[in-house]
Amino acid sequence: MTRTREIPVVQAILSANEQVAEENRRTLARHQVFAVNVMASPGAGKTSLILATARHLPANVRLGVVEGDVASRIDAETIAAAGIPVVQVNTGGACHLDAPMIRSALTHLPLETVDLLFVENVGNLICPAEFALGTHLNVVVASVPEGHDKPYKYPGVFTRSHAVVLNKADMIDVFAFDLDAFRRGVAMVNPHAPVFVLSCKTDMGVPEWVRWLLAQKEAVHPSTTP
């Protein structure tokens, strides 16, 4: 009896989130904005990846950011200091962003002057993967100091991602990181996801990541300016 009550409730919650996610997709499409949901554990380098990407974007690609955190404005202030439009979303304890939070954030961004939108999700490798936001891509960021076992321990977020970024690759030798084991783990749960091995600190591998990202954007919203 208890299970028959719980299942419809869970389905109703996820359905409601998906409905708002679809609204977000329509809003982004109307403004020709390509959006990327960036997921990672705390400290993996989500904000660093956004800033490194910004350094390598062509001048005609205008960036915007939605920053998700349980509390504080630290990352949002870092993004704003780089001259990037940013909206802070504090979840008040929730371990992930959801579509209604993104819908609210979009109303505070100058979408008419944004081409590429990063949504930095709350630092967590479990919950964020379960909730659609209306973005075009899901990207998971892992980092060398976390170890090469993350795809094996948290397969859900890797399975649901369109690309995997391995950050802090300049420290592979220091941490005896097994890159082959990491790649095998990703391929096991998501054989179609490209893996970008890079360092936001040194910019190693960042240009390759940016070229791929821009190709995904162009496939959805081709540039109209030179």
**Could you tell me the residue ranges of all domains in the chain?**
2-220
Residues 6+ apart with CB under 8 A from 80: 86
User: What six digits make up the tokens of 80?
Assistant: 């704003």
pLDDT at 8: 59
What are the backbone dihedrals phi and psi of residue 138, each rounded to the nearest 5 degrees, phi first?
Answer: -110, 130
pLDDT at 1: 47
Answer yes or no: are the C-beta atoms of 141 and 39 closer than 8 Å.
yes
- Secondary structure (3-state) at 165: strand
Give tens-digit pLDDT for 128-165. 999 999 999 999 999 999 999 999 999 999 999 999 99
Q: How far apart are CA 30 and CA 22, in angstroms?
A: 12
Helices (H) and strands (E) in the chain, counts: 8, 7
The DSSP code sequence of 43-112 is: TS-HHHHHHHHHHHS-TT--EEEEEEESS-SHHHHHHHHTT--EEEEE-TT-SS--HHHHHHHHTTS-GG
Q: Which residues of the chain have pLDDT under 70?
A: 1-14, 224-226
Q: How far apart are CA 124 and CA 97, in angstroms?
A: 10
Answer yes or no: are the C-beta atoms of 32 and 115 closer than 8 Å.
yes
- Say which residue the tokens 């990202």 belong to: 213
Quote the pTM value.
0.91
User: What six digits make up the tokens of 202?
Assistant: 């040194």
The verdict on domain 2-220 having CATH code 2.70.210.12 is: no
Answer yes or no: are the C-beta atoms of 179 and 205 closer than 8 Å.
no
The rounded Cα 72 to chain-centroid distance in angstroms is 19
pLDDT at 223: 79
